[in-house]
Amino acid sequence: MVGRLEGKNAIVTGAGGGVGLETVILMLQEGASVLMTDVSASALENALSKAKEVVPQHPGRVETQVVDVSKEADVEAAVDRIDSWGGVDVMFNNAGIMHPKDGDSEECPDSIWDLTMNINVKGVWYGSKHAVRSLRKHGKKSGSIINTASIVALVGAATPQVAYTASKGAVLALTRELAIVHAREGYRFNSLCPAPLNTPMLQSFLGDDKAKRLRREIHFPTGRFGEAIEQAHAVIFLASDESSFVNATDFVVDGGLTKAY
Ligand code: NAD
Protein backbone atom coordinates (compact mmCIF):
# COMPACT_ATOMS: atom_id res chain seq x y z
CA MET A 1 0.00 0.00 0.00
CA VAL A 2 1.32 3.46 -0.88
CA GLY A 3 1.60 5.85 2.06
CA ARG A 4 -0.26 9.14 2.00
CA LEU A 5 3.02 11.08 2.11
CA GLU A 6 5.10 8.85 -0.15
CA GLY A 7 7.72 10.89 -2.02
CA LYS A 8 7.24 14.01 0.10
CA ASN A 9 9.99 15.73 2.08
CA ALA A 10 8.94 17.16 5.43
CA ILE A 11 10.54 19.34 8.08
CA VAL A 12 9.17 19.16 11.61
CA THR A 13 10.24 21.78 14.17
CA GLY A 14 10.09 20.92 17.86
CA ALA A 15 10.41 17.24 16.89
CA GLY A 16 12.12 16.34 20.16
CA GLY A 17 8.89 15.35 21.92
CA GLY A 18 5.15 15.87 22.27
CA VAL A 19 3.18 16.52 19.10
CA GLY A 20 6.33 16.89 16.98
CA LEU A 21 7.61 13.39 17.70
CA GLU A 22 4.20 11.71 17.26
CA THR A 23 3.89 13.47 13.90
CA VAL A 24 7.33 12.32 12.76
CA ILE A 25 6.36 8.72 13.55
CA LEU A 26 3.17 8.95 11.49
CA MET A 27 4.97 10.76 8.66
CA LEU A 28 7.52 7.94 8.41
CA GLN A 29 4.71 5.37 8.44
CA GLU A 30 3.06 7.30 5.61
CA GLY A 31 6.24 7.16 3.51
CA ALA A 32 7.65 10.69 3.91
CA SER A 33 11.30 11.64 4.31
CA VAL A 34 11.61 13.70 7.47
CA LEU A 35 14.13 16.19 8.80
CA MET A 36 13.55 16.30 12.54
CA THR A 37 14.62 19.57 14.13
CA ASP A 38 14.66 20.84 17.70
CA VAL A 39 16.59 23.31 19.85
CA SER A 40 17.57 20.45 22.19
CA ALA A 41 20.19 18.05 20.78
CA SER A 42 19.52 15.48 23.52
CA ALA A 43 15.75 15.55 22.96
CA LEU A 44 16.36 15.06 19.25
CA GLU A 45 18.64 12.09 19.86
CA ASN A 46 16.06 10.40 22.10
CA ALA A 47 13.26 11.20 19.69
CA LEU A 48 15.16 9.73 16.74
CA SER A 49 15.74 6.48 18.67
CA LYS A 50 12.06 6.30 19.58
CA ALA A 51 10.98 6.97 15.98
CA LYS A 52 13.33 4.26 14.68
CA GLU A 53 12.10 1.84 17.33
CA VAL A 54 8.42 2.40 16.43
CA VAL A 55 9.01 2.52 12.66
CA PRO A 56 12.05 0.31 11.95
CA GLN A 57 11.20 0.05 8.24
CA HIS A 58 10.19 3.04 6.17
CA PRO A 59 10.75 4.03 2.55
CA GLY A 60 11.91 7.60 3.24
CA ARG A 61 14.92 8.95 5.07
CA VAL A 62 15.00 10.41 8.57
CA GLU A 63 17.68 12.77 9.82
CA THR A 64 18.06 15.32 12.60
CA GLN A 65 19.33 18.87 12.84
CA VAL A 66 19.58 21.19 15.82
CA VAL A 67 17.50 24.29 15.04
CA ASP A 68 16.43 27.16 17.25
CA VAL A 69 13.41 28.44 15.33
CA SER A 70 13.90 31.95 16.67
CA LYS A 71 17.18 32.13 14.73
CA GLU A 72 16.60 32.62 11.03
CA ALA A 73 20.02 31.25 10.06
CA ASP A 74 19.17 27.93 11.80
CA VAL A 75 15.86 27.60 9.96
CA GLU A 76 17.46 28.57 6.67
CA ALA A 77 20.16 25.92 7.15
CA ALA A 78 17.53 23.22 7.77
CA VAL A 79 15.67 24.17 4.60
CA ASP A 80 18.96 24.25 2.66
CA ARG A 81 19.64 20.71 3.84
CA ILE A 82 16.26 19.44 2.65
CA ASP A 83 16.83 21.29 -0.62
CA SER A 84 19.50 18.71 -1.33
CA TRP A 85 16.80 16.00 -0.97
CA GLY A 86 14.69 17.68 -3.66
CA GLY A 87 13.11 20.52 -1.67
CA VAL A 88 10.41 20.93 0.96
CA ASP A 89 6.89 19.59 0.36
CA VAL A 90 5.62 19.81 3.93
CA MET A 91 6.66 22.21 6.67
CA PHE A 92 5.25 21.61 10.14
CA ASN A 93 6.03 24.69 12.22
CA ASN A 94 5.24 23.03 15.53
CA ALA A 95 7.89 24.33 17.96
CA GLY A 96 6.50 26.62 20.62
CA ILE A 97 6.88 27.55 24.26
CA MET A 98 4.58 28.52 27.08
CA HIS A 99 6.80 30.20 29.65
CA PRO A 100 6.02 29.18 33.27
CA LYS A 101 6.25 32.84 34.33
CA ASP A 102 3.90 34.09 31.61
CA GLY A 103 0.91 35.41 33.52
CA ASP A 104 -1.81 38.01 33.66
CA SER A 105 -1.43 41.64 32.64
CA GLU A 106 0.57 42.68 35.70
CA GLU A 107 2.84 39.67 35.78
CA CYS A 108 4.29 39.16 32.31
CA PRO A 109 7.67 40.92 31.97
CA ASP A 110 8.99 42.14 28.62
CA SER A 111 11.72 39.48 28.58
CA ILE A 112 9.10 36.68 28.59
CA TRP A 113 6.89 38.53 26.10
CA ASP A 114 9.83 38.90 23.67
CA LEU A 115 11.07 35.32 24.11
CA THR A 116 7.58 33.95 23.48
CA MET A 117 7.05 36.11 20.39
CA ASN A 118 10.47 35.26 18.99
CA ILE A 119 9.89 31.51 19.20
CA ASN A 120 6.14 31.21 18.65
CA VAL A 121 5.67 33.89 15.98
CA LYS A 122 9.00 34.66 14.35
CA GLY A 123 9.82 30.94 14.34
CA VAL A 124 6.64 30.24 12.37
CA TRP A 125 7.40 33.15 10.03
CA TYR A 126 10.95 31.92 9.33
CA GLY A 127 9.71 28.38 8.70
CA SER A 128 6.95 29.61 6.39
CA LYS A 129 9.14 31.99 4.46
CA HIS A 130 11.97 29.54 3.84
CA ALA A 131 9.51 26.79 2.93
CA VAL A 132 8.11 29.05 0.21
CA ARG A 133 11.64 29.79 -0.98
CA SER A 134 12.32 26.05 -1.32
CA LEU A 135 8.97 25.30 -2.99
CA ARG A 136 9.59 28.02 -5.58
CA LYS A 137 13.22 27.08 -6.12
CA HIS A 138 12.19 23.53 -7.01
CA GLY A 139 9.27 24.69 -9.16
CA LYS A 140 6.76 22.79 -7.02
CA LYS A 141 3.09 23.15 -7.85
CA SER A 142 1.90 22.17 -4.39
CA GLY A 143 3.07 22.37 -0.82
CA SER A 144 1.58 22.29 2.65
CA ILE A 145 2.65 24.45 5.56
CA ILE A 146 1.05 23.72 8.91
CA ASN A 147 1.53 26.26 11.68
CA THR A 148 0.67 25.44 15.26
CA ALA A 149 -1.55 27.92 17.04
CA SER A 150 -3.82 26.92 19.93
CA ILE A 151 -7.43 27.18 20.99
CA VAL A 152 -6.33 30.10 23.18
CA ALA A 153 -6.19 32.07 19.94
CA LEU A 154 -9.97 31.51 19.72
CA VAL A 155 -11.18 31.57 23.34
CA GLY A 156 -9.81 33.14 26.51
CA ALA A 157 -7.91 30.97 28.98
CA ALA A 158 -9.04 30.70 32.58
CA THR A 159 -5.44 30.40 33.72
CA PRO A 160 -3.99 33.42 31.92
CA GLN A 161 -0.82 33.49 29.85
CA VAL A 162 -0.97 36.77 27.96
CA ALA A 163 2.18 36.49 25.83
CA TYR A 164 1.39 32.91 24.79
CA THR A 165 -2.18 33.79 23.84
CA ALA A 166 -1.08 36.86 21.86
CA SER A 167 1.58 34.82 20.05
CA LYS A 168 -0.92 32.16 19.00
CA GLY A 169 -3.36 34.80 17.76
CA ALA A 170 -0.54 36.16 15.61
CA VAL A 171 0.04 32.67 14.19
CA LEU A 172 -3.61 32.50 13.05
CA ALA A 173 -3.44 35.90 11.33
CA LEU A 174 -0.05 35.27 9.73
CA THR A 175 -1.08 31.84 8.45
CA ARG A 176 -4.34 33.15 6.97
CA GLU A 177 -2.46 35.94 5.20
CA LEU A 178 0.16 33.60 3.73
CA ALA A 179 -2.56 31.17 2.64
CA ILE A 180 -4.32 33.82 0.61
CA VAL A 181 -1.12 35.27 -0.86
CA HIS A 182 0.23 31.89 -2.04
CA ALA A 183 -3.01 30.06 -2.93
CA ARG A 184 -2.57 30.42 -6.70
CA GLU A 185 0.89 28.90 -6.49
CA GLY A 186 -0.65 25.78 -4.91
CA TYR A 187 0.93 26.40 -1.51
CA ARG A 188 -1.51 25.79 1.32
CA PHE A 189 -1.19 27.23 4.81
CA ASN A 190 -3.32 26.02 7.69
CA SER A 191 -3.18 26.68 11.43
CA LEU A 192 -3.54 23.79 13.82
CA CYS A 193 -5.48 24.73 16.96
CA PRO A 194 -5.03 22.11 19.68
CA ALA A 195 -6.77 22.14 23.04
CA PRO A 196 -4.64 21.35 26.12
CA LEU A 197 -2.75 18.10 25.54
CA ASN A 198 -1.01 15.58 27.72
CA THR A 199 2.52 16.55 26.70
CA PRO A 200 5.58 17.76 28.64
CA MET A 201 4.46 21.35 27.97
CA LEU A 202 1.15 20.97 29.81
CA GLN A 203 2.62 18.74 32.50
CA SER A 204 5.23 21.35 33.41
CA PHE A 205 2.61 24.12 33.29
CA LEU A 206 0.21 22.33 35.65
CA GLY A 207 2.80 20.66 37.87
CA ASP A 208 1.11 19.08 40.91
CA ASP A 209 -1.49 21.82 41.15
CA LYS A 210 -4.74 19.80 41.15
CA ALA A 211 -6.97 22.89 41.25
CA LYS A 212 -5.24 24.36 38.21
CA ARG A 213 -5.62 21.06 36.35
CA LEU A 214 -9.32 20.80 37.24
CA ARG A 215 -9.97 24.40 36.19
CA ARG A 216 -8.85 23.47 32.69
CA GLU A 217 -10.08 19.89 32.49
CA ILE A 218 -13.62 20.75 33.57
CA HIS A 219 -14.30 22.59 30.28
CA PHE A 220 -13.77 19.46 28.17
CA PRO A 221 -16.99 17.78 26.98
CA THR A 222 -14.87 14.64 26.63
CA GLY A 223 -13.80 14.91 30.27
CA ARG A 224 -10.13 14.59 29.34
CA PHE A 225 -7.23 16.46 27.79
CA GLY A 226 -6.16 15.61 24.26
CA GLU A 227 -3.24 13.38 23.30
CA ALA A 228 -0.35 14.35 21.03
CA ILE A 229 -1.16 11.52 18.61
CA GLU A 230 -4.65 13.00 18.05
CA GLN A 231 -3.03 16.21 16.77
CA ALA A 232 -0.53 14.24 14.72
CA HIS A 233 -3.32 12.49 12.77
CA ALA A 234 -4.77 15.89 11.86
CA VAL A 235 -1.34 17.08 10.71
CA ILE A 236 -1.01 14.07 8.41
CA PHE A 237 -4.34 14.93 6.81
CA LEU A 238 -3.31 18.59 6.34
CA ALA A 239 0.09 17.54 4.97
CA SER A 240 -1.34 15.05 2.47
CA ASP A 241 -3.03 15.66 -0.86
CA GLU A 242 -6.31 14.47 0.73
CA SER A 243 -6.64 18.04 2.03
CA SER A 244 -5.89 19.69 -1.34
CA PHE A 245 -8.88 22.07 -0.99
CA VAL A 246 -8.29 22.83 2.68
CA ASN A 247 -6.55 26.18 2.91
CA ALA A 248 -6.42 29.14 5.34
CA THR A 249 -8.29 27.24 8.03
CA ASP A 250 -8.02 27.45 11.79
CA PHE A 251 -8.04 23.64 12.03
CA VAL A 252 -9.45 22.98 15.49
CA VAL A 253 -8.69 19.62 17.16
CA ASP A 254 -10.12 20.07 20.64
CA GLY A 255 -12.65 17.34 21.50
CA GLY A 256 -15.43 19.94 21.18
CA LEU A 257 -14.00 22.26 23.84
CA THR A 258 -14.49 25.51 21.94
CA LYS A 259 -18.13 24.66 21.24
CA ALA A 260 -19.00 23.77 24.84
CA TYR A 261 -20.76 25.87 27.43
P1 NAD B 1 6.45 20.17 24.07
O2 NAD B 1 6.98 21.18 25.03
O3 NAD B 1 6.08 18.83 24.57
O4 NAD B 1 7.43 20.02 22.84
C5 NAD B 1 7.91 21.19 22.17
C6 NAD B 1 9.26 20.94 21.55
O7 NAD B 1 9.70 22.19 21.02
C8 NAD B 1 10.32 20.49 22.57
O9 NAD B 1 10.99 19.34 22.10
C10 NAD B 1 11.25 21.69 22.69
O11 NAD B 1 12.62 21.34 22.91
C12 NAD B 1 11.08 22.35 21.32
N13 NAD B 1 11.43 23.76 21.32
C14 NAD B 1 11.25 24.68 22.30
N15 NAD B 1 11.78 25.86 21.94
C16 NAD B 1 12.30 25.68 20.69
C17 NAD B 1 12.98 26.53 19.79
N18 NAD B 1 13.27 27.79 20.11
N19 NAD B 1 13.37 26.02 18.60
C20 NAD B 1 13.11 24.74 18.29
N21 NAD B 1 12.49 23.88 19.11
C22 NAD B 1 12.08 24.35 20.30
O23 NAD B 1 5.19 20.86 23.41
P24 NAD B 1 3.89 20.25 22.71
O25 NAD B 1 2.84 20.16 23.74
O26 NAD B 1 4.21 19.08 21.88
O27 NAD B 1 3.51 21.50 21.82
C28 NAD B 1 3.74 21.56 20.43
C29 NAD B 1 3.03 22.78 19.90
O30 NAD B 1 1.64 22.70 20.22
C31 NAD B 1 3.52 24.11 20.49
O32 NAD B 1 3.55 25.10 19.49
C33 NAD B 1 2.46 24.44 21.52
O34 NAD B 1 2.39 25.82 21.78
C35 NAD B 1 1.23 23.90 20.86
N36 NAD B 1 0.13 23.59 21.77
C37 NAD B 1 0.32 22.77 22.83
C38 NAD B 1 -0.73 22.54 23.70
C39 NAD B 1 -0.55 21.67 24.92
O40 NAD B 1 -1.42 21.68 25.80
N41 NAD B 1 0.51 20.89 25.03
C42 NAD B 1 -1.99 23.10 23.46
C43 NAD B 1 -2.15 23.94 22.35
C44 NAD B 1 -1.07 24.18 21.51
Q: Is 223 left (phi over 0), alpha (psi -120 to 50) or beta?
A: left
From first to last of the 261 residues of the chain, give the pLDDT tens digit.
789 999 999 999 999 999 999 999 999 999 999 999 999 999 999 999 999 999 999 999 999 999 999 999 999 999 999 999 999 999 999 999 999 889 888 889 999 999 999 999 999 999 999 999 999 999 999 999 999 999 999 999 877 899 999 999 999 999 999 999 999 999 999 999 999 999 888 888 888 888 888 888 888 999 999 999 999 999 999 999 999 999 999 999 999 999 998
User: Among this protein's residues, is 261 annotated catalytic?
Assistant: no
Q: What is the pLDDT of residue 65?
A: 98
Bridge-based pairing of strands 9-12 and 33-38 is parallel
| Gap between the Cα atoms of 138 and 30, Å rounded | 22
Rounded (to 5) percent helix, strand, coil in the chain: 50, 15, 35
Q: What is the pLDDT of residue 204?
A: 84
Q: What is the pLDDT of residue 184?
A: 98
Q: What is the pLDDT of residue 28?
A: 98
Q: What is the pLDDT of residue 78?
A: 98
Using the mean position of ligand 1's atoms as its centre, give its distance from the Cα of residue 100 in Å: 13
Q: What is the dihedral of CA 251, 255, 258, 261, to 10 degrees?
A: 160
With the most atoms of ligand 1 within 8 angstroms of its CB, the residue from 12, 19, 125, 206 to mutate is 19
- By three-state DSSP, how is residue 60 classified? coil
| Gap between the Cα atoms of 186 and 203, Å rounded | 38
| Gap between the Cα atoms of 193 and 150, Å rounded | 4
Question: What sign for the dihedral angle of Cα 248, 33, 86, 37?
Answer: positive
Using the mean position of ligand 1's atoms as its centre, give its distance from the Cα of residue 183 in Å: 27
Cα separations in angstroms, 86 against 9, 10, 15, 138: 8, 11, 21, 7
DSSP-derived secondary structure for 96-118: ----TT--STTT--HHHHHHHHI
Nearest to 233 by CA among 260, 259, 196, 194: 194
- By three-state DSSP, how is residue 12 classified? strand
- Structural domains of the chain ordered from first start: 9-259 (3.40.50.720)
The residues lining ligand 1, judged by C-beta closer than 6 Å to any ligand atom, are 13-14, 16-20, 38-40, 43, 67-70, 94-98, 119, 148, 150, 194, 196-197, 199-202, 228
